[in-house]
């Protein structure tokens, strides 16, 4: 599982980032936490995108994960970081598994927009429900780790980085299994996949559920990193758009790509906002166009190209 | 024709699309090891028959029994699992992947069903099998090429090679030589039939080219307007008055 180059880069890169985090200024640690949290959702979208499926509604699962953290905190007083994280991922995974029975029958724009529709239903319910925080959302207490309340965010940063590493390694492994390899084949020719003896519906269902678990975990980690949840920053369709944006920015080439793409996006948005608070979207949009025109395979294609030149 | 017990029994098969009768009164027994040629003019019901046997189309009535198992009601995947594979008139392969990648995924699916699909795909055994298929189907020179840049003939070979990696007992080929030049058709069929003979597969193939039918099949089924009008040895079928009139297009 750890024999290939990607796994080694994930492992040693992750350890290096954890060690560097101890001496990094807080604002960088924060950016890394946000970037790595969001990257988990992108990892799931990468699995779908390789199969030719683009979801424009994964904020549904991202939001489910985030709101699970808020609800178990406020209603049950759960502060443990792992209970919150796995709670968010499992709830999103169950929802993804159930909704997957519908989604596996749709392709192209119908798949993309059906996900949007479902996410907007949840958005509408939360916005209109006082007990779910309505438009204001909830503030979340600081997470504890095995009963200990850390004084800084560094322990949470270590956990997020480790979860990111484990997720990347697991998805890297999954993409090398028979069902994991059924990405391009399904995109190219579903009839042939069926006649080879594999159910396309089952394969897509599994990919969809995996992407929901990852998005739920991402939302849970983001909620704990930010210390708050609200519908506009967790479930609105703009969040789904943001996730698709980062997926395209990252490129589908490698499981490391979502982490690089997410960090680039965090930096880009932060500096765009600082530079032009009223028109930061213009800078982000221009970057998006540049990537589509000059790097259709995303940032990863540039890294892969440079790697090939070097070797 | 062999005298062994039939492995495929088709009884009173009927397929209608509204008022259009695409196939009716189809009754066939196919024995192990037979090479059956299915001939007929366009719209005669040949591909409709292949589609019904392979689970792509559900018959309106009738039964298709393969090795004692009823296939009516089963989809393509279940039919493949039962032991019947097919190739297509327009080759159905993964066009953005290389020939080798196409075969690898086909082999991996054949070998890793159910929870085994979560095992790593690549293995030495899979590579060895892939090399063997590439060699037998003369695909080695093209193995690193993306399918979309390959000729129709190579795509057809790949399509057939992918269909047989699951080790089916019956293989249905839908117009294997369509789109292949006159000069290449015999070489192509020699490669295919040679490899299939090694695998001891029972073959049913739809064909328009009577030279191919004469040379490679042991039995002919002639279709006309959804019905079988002849079921006999190729020399007799090609001399049969009804076949000559309705299939070949020559008056006796």
* pLDDT, tens only, A255-268: 999 999 999 998 89
A145 interfacial to chain B (CB closer than 8 Å)? no
pLDDT band at A37 (very low <50, low <70, confident <90, very high): very high
How many other CB atoms are there within 10 angstroms of residue B241's CB atom? 11
Q: Are strands B61-66 and A228-229 parallel, antiparallel or unpaired?
A: unpaired
What is the chain A residue with the closest CA to B86?
A: A195
Helix (H, G, I), strand (E, B) or coil at B122: coil
Supply the angle between the helices A200-226 and A81-103 in degrees, to the nearest 10. Answer: 150
Domain residue spans of chain B: 6-83+168-248
How far is residue A79's CA from residue A85's CA, in Å, rounded to a whole number? 10
Return the H-helix or E-strand segment holding B111.
helix B99-111
How far is residue B132's CA from residue B100's CA, in Å, rounded to a whole number? 11
Ordered alpha helix ranges (H), chain A = 5-21, 26-50, 59-76, 81-103, 108-128, 154-174, 178-181, 184-188, 190-196, 200-226, 231-234, 237-250, 257-275, 280-294, 298-310
What percent of the residues of chain B are helix, what percent strand, and what percent coil, each to the nearest 5? 40, 25, 35
Residues of A in contact with B109 (CB under 8 A): 178, 182, 193, 196-198
CB contact under 8 A, A188 and B95: yes
Partner residue facing A197 (CB), from B95, B97, B113: B113
- Residues B129-139 have a mean pLDDT of 94
Q: How far is B163 from chain A (nearest CA, A)?
A: 7
Average pLDDT score over chain A: 92
B93 interfacial to chain A (CB closer than 8 Å)? yes
Could you read off the pLDDT of B119-131 as tens digits, one per residue?
888 888 899 999 9
CB contact under 8 A, A197 and B80: yes
Could you read off the pLDDT of A39-98 as tens digits, one per residue?
999 999 999 999 999 999 999 999 999 999 999 999 999 999 999 999 999 999 999 999
CATH superfamily to which B6-83+168-248 belongs: P-loop containing nucleotide triphosphate hydrolases (3.40.50.300)
DSSP string, A35-46: HHHHHHHHHHHH
A191 interfacial to chain B (CB closer than 8 Å)? yes
Question: In residues, how long is chain A?
Answer: 311
- Residues B61-84 have a mean pLDDT of 94
B87 interfacial to chain A (CB closer than 8 Å)? no
All domains of chain A in start order, with CATH: 5-310 (1.10.3470)
B158 interfacial to chain A (CB closer than 8 Å)? no
Has this prediction a pTM greater than 0.95? no
Average pLDDT score over chain B: 89
């Amino acid at each position: 599982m750890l024999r290939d180059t990607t796994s080694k880069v994930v492992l040693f890169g992750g350890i290096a980032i954890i060690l560097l985090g101890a001496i990094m200024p807080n604002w960088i640690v924060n950016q890394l936490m946000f970037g790595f949290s969001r990257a988990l959702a992108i990892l799931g979208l990468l699995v779908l995108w390789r199969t030719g499926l683009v979801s424009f509604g994964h904020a549904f699962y991202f939001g489910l994960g985030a709101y699970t953290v808020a609800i178990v905190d406020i209603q049950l007083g759960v502060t443990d970081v792992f209970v919150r994280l796995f709670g968010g991922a499992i709830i999103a995974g169950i929802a993804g598994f159930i909704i997957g029975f519908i989604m596996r029958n749709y392709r192209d724009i119908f798949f993309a927009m059906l996900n949007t529709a479902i996410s907007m239903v949840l958005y509408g319910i939360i916005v209109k429900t006082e007990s779910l925080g309505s438009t204001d959302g909830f503030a979340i207490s600081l997470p504890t780790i095995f009963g200990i309340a850390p004084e800084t965010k560094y322990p949470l940063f270590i956990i997020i980085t480790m979860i990111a590493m484990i997720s990347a390694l697991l998805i890297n492994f999954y993409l090398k299994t028979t069902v994991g390899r059924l990405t391009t084949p399904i995109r190219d020719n579903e009839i042939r996949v069926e006649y080879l003896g594999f159910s396309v519906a089952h394969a897509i269902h599994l990919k969809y559920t995996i992407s929901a678990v990852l998005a739920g975990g991402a939302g849970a980690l983001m909620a704990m990193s930010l210390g708050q949840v609200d519908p506009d920053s967790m479930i609105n369709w703009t969040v789904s758009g943001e996730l698709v944006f980062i997926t395209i920015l990252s490129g589908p080439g490698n499981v490391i790509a979502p982490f690089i793409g997410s960090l680039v996006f965090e930096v880009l948005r932060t500096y765009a906002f600082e530079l032009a608070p009223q028109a930061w979207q213009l800078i982000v949009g221009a970057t998006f166009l540049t990537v589509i025109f000059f790097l259709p395979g995303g940032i990863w294609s540039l890294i892969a190209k440079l790697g090939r030149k070097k070797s | 024709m062999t005298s062994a017990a039939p492995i495929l029994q088709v009884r009173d098969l009927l397929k209608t699309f509204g008022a259009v009768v695409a196939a009716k009164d189809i009754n066939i027994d196919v024995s192990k090891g037979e090479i059956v040629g299915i001939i007929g003019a366009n719209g005669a019901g040949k591909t409709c028959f292949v589609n019904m046997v392979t689970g792509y189309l559900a018959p309106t009535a009738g039964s298709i029994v393969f090795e004692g198992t009823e296939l009516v009601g089963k989809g393509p995947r279940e039919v493949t699992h039962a032991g019947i594979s097919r190739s297509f008139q327009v080759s159905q392969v993964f066009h953005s992947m290389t020939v080798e990648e196409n075969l690898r995924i086909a082999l991996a699916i054949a070998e890793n069903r159910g929870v085994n699909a979560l095992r790593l795909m690549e293995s030495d055994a899979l590579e060895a099998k892939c090399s063997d298929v590439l060699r037998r189907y003369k695909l080695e020179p093209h193995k690193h090429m993306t399918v979309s840049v390959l000729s129709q003939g190579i795509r057809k070979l790949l399509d057939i090679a992918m269909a047989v990696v699951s080790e089916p007992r019956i293989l249905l080929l839908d117009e294997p030589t369509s789109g292949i030049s006159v000069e290449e058709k015999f070489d192509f069929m020699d490669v295919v039939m040679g490899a299939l003979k090694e695998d001891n597969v029972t073959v049913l193939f739809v064909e328009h080219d009577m030279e191919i039918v004469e040379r490679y099949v042991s039995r002919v089924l002639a279709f006309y307007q959804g019905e079988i009008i002849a079921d006999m040895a190729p020399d007799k079928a090609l001399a049969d008055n009804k076949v000559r009139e309705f299939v070949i297009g020559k008056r006796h």
